[in-house]
A and B are shown apart, each in its own frame.
Chain A
Amino acid sequence: MTEAALSPMPAESLAATADRVASARARMHRRFLEIRWGLAGPALLVIGVFGIVPLLIILVYSFLKAGSYGGVEWGFSTAAYVQFLFERDIFDEQLRFATDYLQIFARSILLALGATVFCLVIGFPTAYFMATRPASSRNLWVFLITLPFWTNLLIRTYSMMLIIRDEGLINDFLLWTGLTGRPIVILYTDFAIGLGLLYSFLPFMVLPLYASLEKLDFRFVEAAFDLYATRGRVLRRIIIPLAKPGIVAGCLLVFIPAIGAFITPLMLGGGKQMMIGNLIALQFGSSRNWPFGSAASLILMALVMIALIIYVRSSADRSKASHG
């Protein structure tokens, strides 16, 4: 702080004051932006270099030729994308329409959708029940639902595997009761994968649902009862419409990790029942076809993006509707 800055300036012209104000404003604005970028910069740089550049690399890889021993050969090719729909006959080199990979994608989408629906069926009543508990036990419920969300998915899937094995607790129980004479095969089936996805991602559904139901103003429910609605109608006409943001968010949060699941089909599908994640892993492992694996990754990303766009659209519609 200089003496000049504090000295009385009764004779200063209006223009000089305006200049001083303008330069102070400009200085403040510049400093503001410097600080913002300076603070956000390092994180953006790290994610940009080690998170986004790798994605660009696989975008490039998906248009290259596969190397004989893994990796890629530098030369443009759309073979990776053609491979999804056609296979090259070993004898006459003709392209034939093949559905093997399409089936894997279809199975992945169906399993992810199925898991989402069942998560909703179990998750909605759970979230509603939680939201209507007294505040003290509500926090405990939230904690108990959150806990599996943060525990090791590999180990949780392993524990599921222990139960549904041929020698697992479920079959032991069925044999003991005599309901069945032979163990029922659950492990390494599509059903096992679906069950695993449901088990893995259930908290992802319950938590956003709870967040929107907890905010629900129960005076609306009272008003509906006052206007002769039954319990079922209150649920359908009042509670579910008001919880819609939570329902959409929950479905998205289950669908996205489910469609890209890797550990669940790896352990519960036993390598036979593949999902997209395993197909990708295989290309970077024993199949040694990096371009094809990259192309599959990009298609998976596209599916995730579509789900995200649907979500953003629906929430944008909602905010438009609520702002008239």
Chain B
Amino acid sequence: MAESAAVEARSVTKTFGVAPDLVRALDDVSVAIEENEFFTLLGPSGCGKTTLLRLIAGLELPNSGDILLAGRSVVHLPPHERPVNTVFQSYALFPHMSVAQNIAFGLEMRGLARDEIARTVGEMLTLVKMQGLDARRPGQLSGGQQQRVALARALANHPKVLLLDEPLSALDLKLRQGMRGELKSLQRRTGITFVFVTHDQEEALTMSDRIAVMDRGRVQQLGTPLDIYERPVNKFVADFIGDTNFLEATALGEEGGFVRCRCAGGFELLVGGIPPAPGATVTVALRPEKIVLHPGGAHGTVTQAVYVGTDTNYVVQLSVKTDLGVRVQNAVDGRARFAVGEHVGIEVPPGAARLLKD
């Protein structure tokens, strides 16, 4: 038998409420998550990412479809009979138990021997660098420490799959950035499949092996961080991940594996993607940082310049209706390279822009 995916959702549909207030949280979603993978479900709130996670955990039942863990259907099993563990968004640490009791909870429920429980709890405390805090109550811990206990409590059970529901959202920025690295290295060391839910694209891009970008109950694109950022398939993905200019353009024809397009303002660029019929009107996605400005050109006029530290964000007017956002690194002395009112030329390296489906 072929190697089965660690987690698989097959045509899963889940609705909440009744018509006319019926919400389709998941609409015929199929995803296969490989073993030892750091897999991220990314999307805006209400896109269905948390619902999918809860279906895998067994906290919700789908209307239709199947959930498989290592090739076995578990869709009909209650959460306590599924070999997965969850780190909840609010951590859900038991407030009446100490750190050690929290970590031991799952082991006790599975009826493990006392000394084995004690040994595992010790290992977990070391793993998340919480030695010596075993007697504290969750209320006496900082947000970051609570986060570690929640991780330890889930990992203590050596699950095949660890589900993480926006675990970093309650932490402040500095701590969040630190935890990203720690989570990633924890995943590498333990070899456990991580299914990570977040609405933060930076988190998703920096930690994941693969990302599923979700919107309105459907998976919009599934791929590596590089795929998602460099080759968005549709307008939603291009817009949700990073800053993007959307340009109406006319396809002129193929050229060296790219598609030559002409935009407003008359400049032409070579775009990556599946070539459409020549003469078709297409939408092109173009990242602001990939655009090169030349002083004294005739493509457009700088109408706005906003200093953001390392860079300056410019708005270049191409035509009456079309503005282009451009991000240019500042000079070494921090000065902006262009001034408002300056006429500039625009250059886009071949393949930097992408053709979108819609």
Known: A1-B81, A21-B61, A21-B65. A10 touches B75 (CB 8 A): no
A residues in contact with B4, CB < 8 Å: 8
B residues in contact with A20, CB < 8 Å: 73, 75-76
- Closest residue on chain B to residue A12 by CB atoms: B73
Size class of B's contact patch? 10 to 19
Q: Chain A nearest CB: distance from B5 CB in Å?
A: 12
Q: Chain A nearest CB: distance from B282 CB in Å?
A: 38
> Does the CB pair A17–B75 fall under 8 Å?
yes
CA distance A58 to B66 in the complex (A): 58
B residues in contact with A25, CB < 8 Å: 61, 63
> Does the CB pair B1–A21 fall under 8 Å?
no
7 contacts between A and B (CB under 8 A): A1-B81, A17-B10, A17-B66, A18-B64, A21-B62, A23-B76, A24-B61
> Does the CB pair B66–A28 fall under 8 Å?
no
> Does the CB pair A24–B75 fall under 8 Å?
yes
CA distance A23 to B66 in the complex (A): 13
Chain B CB within 8 A of A5 CB: yes
CA distance A10 to B4 in the complex (A): 10
> Does the CB pair B71–A8 fall under 8 Å?
yes
Size class of A's contact patch? 10 to 19
Q: Chain A nearest CB: distance from B135 CB in Å?
A: 31
> Does the CB pair A7–B72 fall under 8 Å?
yes
A residues in contact with B61, CB < 8 Å: 21, 24-25, 28
CA distance A301 to B87 in the complex (A): 53
CA distance A10 to B70 in the complex (A): 11
Set B62, B71, B77: member contacting A5, Cβ < 8 A: B77
> Does the CB pair B64–A21 fall under 8 Å?
yes
Task: List A residues at the B interface (Cβ < 8 Å).
Answer: 1, 5-10, 12, 14, 17-18, 20-21, 23-25, 28
CA distance A17 to B64 in the complex (A): 8
> Does the CB pair A24–B1 fall under 8 Å?
no
Name the interface residues of B168-200: CB closer than 8 Å to any CB of A. Answer: none
Pick the 10 closest A-B CB pairs, nearest first: A24-B76, A17-B66, A8-B71, A20-B76, A6-B72, A25-B61, A9-B73, A1-B81, A21-B75, A18-B64
Task: List B residues at the A interface (Cβ < 8 Å).
Answer: 1, 4, 10-11, 61-66, 71-73, 75-77, 81
> Does the CB pair B81–A17 fall under 8 Å?
no
Q: Chain B nearest CB: distance from A8 CB in Å?
A: 5
Q: Chain B nearest CB: distance from A31 CB in Å?
A: 10
Question: How many contacting A-B pairs (Cβ < 8 A)?
Answer: 40
CA distance A9 to B67 in the complex (A): 12
Q: Chain A nearest CB: distance from B132 CB in Å?
A: 35
A residues in contact with B75, CB < 8 Å: 17, 20-21, 24
- Closest residue on chain B to residue A10 by CB atoms: B71
CA distance A5 to B68 in the complex (A): 12
CA distance A23 to B62 in the complex (A): 12
B residues in contact with A21, CB < 8 Å: 61-66, 75-76
- Closest residue on chain B to residue A8 by CB atoms: B71
Q: Chain B nearest CB: distance from A25 CB in Å?
A: 5
A residues in contact with B10, CB < 8 Å: 17
A residues in contact with B63, CB < 8 Å: 21, 25
A residues in contact with B62, CB < 8 Å: 21
CA distance A23 to B76 in the complex (A): 8
Q: Chain B nearest CB: distance from A231 CB in Å?
A: 42
> Does the CB pair B1–A17 fall under 8 Å?
no
CA distance A8 to B3 in the complex (A): 12
> Does the CB pair A8–B72 fall under 8 Å?
yes
Q: Chain B nearest CB: distance from A259 CB in Å?
A: 41
B residues in contact with A17, CB < 8 Å: 10, 65-66, 73, 75
B residues in contact with A9, CB < 8 Å: 72-73
CA distance A21 to B74 in the complex (A): 10
B residues in contact with A1, CB < 8 Å: 77, 81
CA distance A164 to B4 in the complex (A): 87
Q: Told that A1-B81, A21-B63, A23-B76 touch, could you supply 13 new A-B pairs with CB distance under 8 A? A: A8-B4, A8-B71, A10-B1, A14-B11, A17-B10, A20-B73, A20-B76, A21-B61, A21-B62, A21-B76, A24-B75, A25-B61, A25-B63
